[in-house]
Amino acid sequence: MSTYAIGDIQGCYSEFCGLLEQIDFEPVKDKLWLVGDLVNRGPGSLDVLRLIKSLGDSAICVLGNHDLHLLAVAAGIGELHRSDTLDEILNAPDREELLYWLRHQRLAYAENGYLLVHAGVLPAWTTAQTVKLANEVENALRSENYVEFLSHMYGNAPHGWRDDLTGYKRLRVIVNALTRLRICSSQGEMEFKFKGEVPNIPEGYLPWFRAPQRKTQESTVIFGHWSALGLLVEDNLMALDTGCLWGGPMTAIRLDDRKLFQVACTQPVEKHW
């Protein structure tokens, strides 16, 4: 039995299938840990969702910002963007079944010294706290009032965490940290405009994982989201978004021995940022 963590898929179905073939994935004995952004911008989002859903407990997924965007658009909250490729899901006969399944996925997952998230973790959060806070958002997404939650989900403020935050402001900070974070100040103030490479980070900010006194350093954090960062594997860090959507490879890492597997992009799309 092996566990494979895989970077952002974003609807790149053929590459995802090629990666599963390369690792010789067997659902009856192996596990997939998926860092989120399963859908959007790539050409095969519907097939990606159907395949991952069919894997049942063999696939552990955390939601990314594009997955939440799909849920918001489907609920009539968000608007489709020019680069979105979500129509096939929105018009699918099994649309509601797929969206229900997506709403019931995690935002953070911890096991055996690993912490799986889509984007990042605020420096003040421990691993246990991260999972607990993620559960607050998960409960909101799974509730009968999930559309109301989605209607309050968007926005950049508050920019940092406070233990006394309540209501939708509290949930918004959790969502933003786990699904949008790339850089923050040493005190954990988040910045969302920057999407580029590390040398170009604006003054006063640093990659969230370089924040001093980061309390998740006891875990190996596995994440994606930051394609300009690329592959980064350290003792307690695995960044796996290698930009398959933009022409880079799609990447998997076997957690047992940290062996890397990659497949080349077959249909790169134009960048819009």
Residues in the chain: 273
Q: Is residue 273 part of a domain?
A: no
How far is it, in rounded angstroms, from Cα 83 to Cα 79?
A: 12
- Give the model confidence (pLDDT) of 6-39 as tens digits: 999 999 999 999 999 999 999 999 999 999 999 9
Cα 262 from Cα 273, distance rounded (Å) = 25
In this predicted structure, the answer to whether residue 57 has a pLDDT above a threshold of 70 is: yes
Peptide bond into 158 cis (omega under 30): yes
**Residue 270, domain member (yes or no):** no
pLDDT on residue 271: 63
Asked if residue 8 belongs to a domain, the reply is: yes
Assign 98 a pLDDT band (cuts: 50, 70, 90): very high
Share of the chain above pLDDT 90, in %: 95
Give the number of other Cβ atoms within 10 Å of residue 123's Cβ. 23
Q: Which domain holds residue 149?
A: 3-263
Q: Give the mean pLDDT of 206-229.
A: 97
**130 within a domain of the structure (yes/no):** yes
Strand partners, 81: none
Our count of domains for the chain comes to 1
For residue 118, how many other CB atoms are within 10 A of its CB? 30
**Span of 75-79, 160-164, 235-239 with lowest mean pLDDT:** 75-79
Provide the pLDDT for residue 273.
44
Whether the predicted pLDDT of 223 surpasses 80: yes
Whether 201 is in a domain gets the answer: yes
The pairing of beta strand 59-61 with beta strand 31-34 = parallel
Instruction: Return d(Cα 24, Cα 44) in angstroms, integer.
Output: 21
What's the CATH number where 228 sits?
Answer: 3.60.21.10
Q: How many CB atoms lie under 10 A from the CB of residue 234?
A: 10
How would you write the chain as a 3-class SS string?
CCEEEECCCCCCHHHHHHHHHHCCCCCCCCEEEECCCCCCCCCCHHHHHHHHHHCHHHEEEECCHHHHHHHHHHCCCCCCCCCCCCHHHHCCCCHHHHHHHHHCCECCEEECCEEECCCCCCCCCCHHHHHHHHHHHHHHHHCCCHHHHHHCCCCCCCCCCCCCCCHHHHHHHHHHHHHHCCEECCCCCEECCCCCCHHHCCCCCEEHHHCCCCCCCCCEEEECCCCCCCCEEECCEEECCCCHHHCCCEEEEECCCCEEEEECCCCCCCCCC
Confidence of residue 266 (pLDDT cuts 50, 70, 90): confident
Which tokens belong to 207? Answer: 């990659």
Quote the crossing angle between the two packed helices 167-180 and 65-74, to the nearest 10°: 130
Axis crossing angle, helix 127-142 with helix 167-180, rounded to the nearest 10: 110
**Any domain includes 26:** yes
Angle in degrees, CA 15, 264, 25, rounded to 5: 45
